[in-house]
């Protein structure tokens, strides 16, 4: 039971952490695309003349719905200037991470971009087929294309001036959508990652750990070993998605924006990759002092975008859609505190199957001794010396507490950082307790092993468990500073 609970808890924690050139179509391809688009533009439009109240004065909205390829019906809201004349550029918004996000989570961006003279669609995001442990960027890109078809067919939208905007995870999804149709005329990314998700997330965690002042082996556990284990176990979806091959295919103009203080994706590194990879016009800009999503105070509490953000988007879209595509340019790179590093590929013994087997063997070896001792005591036998009892107790408690500590420490991370309570020399108290138990297990293993020749079977099983514990504990940092 204890083994099953430990493995289940670790799996749940891993699930919780886990946060694009166009080739001209042939006539046949164009005909197929047109037929496909006709089949995909079914929509229900409601309240098309409703004018938004205070906070979005001068805008009107329309509620729409669209069907995904797997039959889901998703909603969304159109935002547009109330008194505009003629056809306007269109902009589809693509969500960041999270399943089932409502259109309202992008309402502020939609309103501010609409004020810049665009028709903006903020769609809902799927929840079915998307979770902490399962997501498919290709499927999300297909969802975006279905929503884009709704936007592009709006009578107030100029179909030759419609583009896509992607935030964070949307910076992986939007490029895929762009490579699948020539109907998308431009792309905007905000906090777009240029790296694979696993590497970006490990960098993200390293930032949180460093800001919290966490040091030593526990730092390595949290920002490397833990993520490698999760990716190996299939609990980190799209872990190794490489955005570079997709970016190389994008010839449409791109506006790539980052907050200079982004600590969720590496802004300088991502910008370097965008600039080196995108073959067409790319405009790279950084907003000093701004966070990941370009909200003035951080997404959870702010109700305003970073000053100049919406205006930058509006000005760039007007230039691009009027035929004045800018030459590629880039702001100076911000001072990124640390560089990301690729996580090494796991050896066979680091894989989740091997690690799970070791945990099962350790708990079994350490639990065998007290069970056998209890049976022997009931039969009138004499209990064994204290080193064996200490080894069994420290090993059993230490392994169990390690699983609990890992779960609790990773669960303490959120969008703001990580709080592990009081630190002693940069180490959380719970981690120090686990390390104390690990050293106790090491010492008691050495003492107990001196009696190997005369030891009974249960003692030899116990000693074998202690010997297996040593390399396992070294790998996870339990016996390291």
- Cβ–Cβ < 8 Å for 9, 407: yes
- Closest by Cα among 340, 177, 223 to 272: 340
Helices (H) and strands (E) counted in the chain, each on its own, are 15, 12
User: Tokens 């749940």, residue?
Assistant: 12
The predicted structure's pLDDT at residue 384: 58
Rounded to two decimals, the pTM is 0.83
CA gap 192, 20 in Å, rounded = 12
Q: Which of 199, 206, 333, 309 is nearest to 263 (CA)?
A: 206
CATH 3.40.50.1820 domain range(s) in the chain: 41-196+241-330
What was the pLDDT predicted at 378? 65
CA 106 – CA 91 distance, rounded (Å): 12
Fold for 41-196+241-330, please state it: Rossmann fold (3.40.50)
Rounded CA-CA distance 214/478 in Å is 15
pLDDT value, residue 406: 94
Walk along the chain (481 residues) and give the pLDDT tens digit of each residue: 333 334 444 444 444 444 422 222 333 333 333 333 333 333 333 333 343 433 467 999 999 999 999 999 999 999 999 988 899 999 999 999 988 899 999 999 999 999 999 999 999 999 998 988 889 999 999 999 999 999 999 999 999 999 999 999 999 999 999 999 999 999 999 999 999 999 999 999 999 999 999 999 999 999 899 889 988 888 889 999 999 999 999 999 999 999 999 999 999 999 999 999 999 999 999 999 999 999 987 555 557 999 999 999 999 999 999 999 999 999 999 999 899 999 988 899 999 999 999 999 999 999 988 887 777 666 555 555 788 899 999 999 999 999 999 999 999 988 778 999 999 999 999 999 999 999 999 999 999 999 888 888 888 999 999 999 999 999 999 999 9
Q: Tell me how far apart the alpha carbons of residues 178 and 279 are, in angstroms, rounded to a whole number.
A: 14
| Per-residue model confidence (pLDDT) at position 52 | 42
Burial of 470 (0-12, 13-18, 19+ CB in 10 A): middle
Cα separation of the two ends of the chain = 32
Tell which residue, 281, 231, 92, 230, has the closest CA to residue 170: 92
pLDDT for the residue numbered 48: 36
């Amino acid at each position: 039971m204890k083994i099953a609970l430990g493995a289940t808890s670790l799996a749940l924690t891993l699930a919780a952490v886990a946060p694009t050139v166009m080739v001209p179509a042939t006539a046949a391809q164009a005909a197929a695309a047109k037929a496909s688009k006709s089949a995909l533009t079914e929509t229900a439009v409601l309240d098309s003349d409703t004018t938004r109240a205070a906070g979005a004065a001068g805008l009107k909205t329309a509620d729409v719905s669209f069907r995904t390829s797997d039959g889901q019906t998703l909603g969304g809201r159109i935002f547009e200037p109330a008194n505009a004349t003629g056809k306007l550029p269109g902009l589809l918004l693509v969500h960041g991470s999270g399943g089932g996000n409502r259109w309202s989570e992008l309402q502020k961006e939609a309103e501010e971009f609409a004020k810049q003279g665009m028709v903006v669609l903020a769609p809902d995001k799927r929840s079915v087929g998307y979770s902490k442990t399962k997501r498919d960027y290709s499927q999300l890109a297909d969802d975006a294309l279905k929503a884009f078809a709704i936007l592009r067919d709006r009578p107030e939208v100029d179909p030759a001036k419609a583009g896509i905007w992607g935030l964070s995870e949307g910076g992986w999804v939007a490029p895929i959508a762009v490579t699948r149709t020539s109907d998308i005329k431009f792309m905007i990314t905000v906090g777009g990652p240029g790296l694979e998700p696993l590497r970006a997330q490990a960098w993200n965690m390293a930032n949180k750990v460093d800001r919290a002042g966490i040091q030593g082996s526990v730092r390595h556990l949290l920002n490397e070993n833990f993520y490698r284990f999760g990716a190996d176990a299939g609990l980190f979806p799209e872990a190794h998605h490489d955005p570079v091959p997709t970016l190389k295919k994008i010839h449409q103009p791109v506006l790539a924006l980052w907050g200079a203080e982004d600590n969720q994706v590496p802004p300088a590194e991502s910008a370097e990759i965008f600039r080196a990879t995108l073959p067409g016009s790319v405009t790279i800009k950084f907003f000093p002092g701004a966070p990941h999503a370009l909200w003035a105070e951080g997404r959870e509490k702010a109700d305003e975008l970073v000053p100049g953000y919406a205006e930058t988007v509006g000005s760039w879209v007007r230039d691009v859609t009027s035929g004045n595509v800018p030459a590629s340019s880039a702001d100076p790179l911000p001072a990124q505190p640390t560089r990301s590093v690729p996580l090494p590929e796991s050896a066979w013994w680091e894989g989740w199957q091997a690690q799970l087997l070791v945990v099962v063997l350790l708990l079994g070896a350490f639990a065998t001794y007290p069970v056998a001792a209890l049976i022997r005591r009931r039969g009138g036998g004499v209990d064994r010396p204290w080193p064996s009892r200490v080894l069994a107790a420290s090993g059993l408690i230490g392994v169990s507490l390690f699983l609990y500590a890992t779960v609790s420490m990773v669960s303490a991370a959120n969008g703001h950082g990580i709080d592990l309570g009081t630190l002693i020399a940069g180490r959380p108290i719970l981690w120090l307790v686990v390390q104390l138990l690990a050293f106790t297990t090491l010492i008691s293993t050495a003492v107990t092993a001196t009696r190997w020749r005369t030891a009974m079977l249960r003692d030899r099983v116990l000693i074998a468990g202690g010997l297996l514990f040593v390399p396992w504990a070294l790998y996870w940092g339990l016996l390291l500073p």
